Amino acid sequence: MKNRLKVLRAERDWTQADLAAALGVSRQTINAIEKQKYDPSLSLAFKASRLFKLPIEGIFEDEEEEV
């Protein structure tokens, strides 16, 4: 699943650790999501949506929709 987490995080000058703390996950989880090696749970996607004040679709993109 493509996502904009790295861009959104950089716009706020946050480290992966900062974002991880805000979302209640490990820095490794943020790293894996940013590198598209791990898809977040729905609850984590909602947390990110609230944190960045964006709809989930503004952060995460389903790659299958592009086909």
| Interval 1-52: pLDDT, tens | 999 999 999 999 999 999 999 999 999 999 999 999 999 999 999 999 999 9
Delimit the domains of the chain by residue range. Answer: 2-51
Determine the residue type at 29. Answer: T
CB 13 within 8 Å of CB 36: no
Of the candidates 41, 65, 45, the one whose C-alpha atom is nearest the C-alpha of residue 55 is: 45
The pLDDT score that the predictor gives to residue 19 is 98
CATH topology of domain 2-51: 434 Repressor (Amino-terminal Domain) (1.10.260)
The pLDDT score that the predictor gives to residue 65 is 59
Residue 63 has pLDDT above 80, yes or no: no
> What's this model's pTM, rounded to 2 decimal places?
0.88
The pLDDT score that the predictor gives to residue 33 is 97
Q: Calculate helix-pair angle for 42-52, 16-23, nearest 10 degrees.
A: 110
